[in-house]
Amino acid sequence: MDSFSSSSGSPPNTEALMDQIKAQLAQAYAQEFLETVGNKCFAKCVTKPGSSLSGSESSCISRCVDRYIEATGIVSRALFSSTR
């Protein structure tokens, strides 16, 4: 591969482009995930918004985020496990 990249600029450019695309996809995915988790956990934990987040609301939110990540893993395994 090295002998190719020295004789032509294409392969390194291609790889840089792919890295850029991957990074952008990852960022978009993270952004969407954060938004979804925020919506779900706000609905579950902050049922009556007060003048500030209470301690129980905060701990509910952190548990909720952990559970949502776990749920993502469960769903992903359910879809791709060989035991279907």
Partner 1 sequence: MENSAEMQRFIEFTADSYLNITLQQEQQKAMVSEMVGKLTSVCWDKCITSTPGSKFSSGETTCLTNCAQRFLDMSVIIAKRFEMQ
Half-sphere exposure of 48 (CA within 13 A, CB side): 0
Burial class (CB in 10 A: 0-12, 13-18, 19+), 67: middle
Residues 3-32 that bind partner 1 (CB under 8 A): 4, 7-8, 10-11, 13-14, 17-18, 21-22, 25, 29, 32
Q: Which residues bind partner 1 (CB under 8 A)?
A: 4, 7-8, 10-11, 13-14, 17-18, 21-22, 25, 29, 32-33, 36, 40-41, 44-45, 60, 63-64, 66-68, 70-72, 74-79, 84
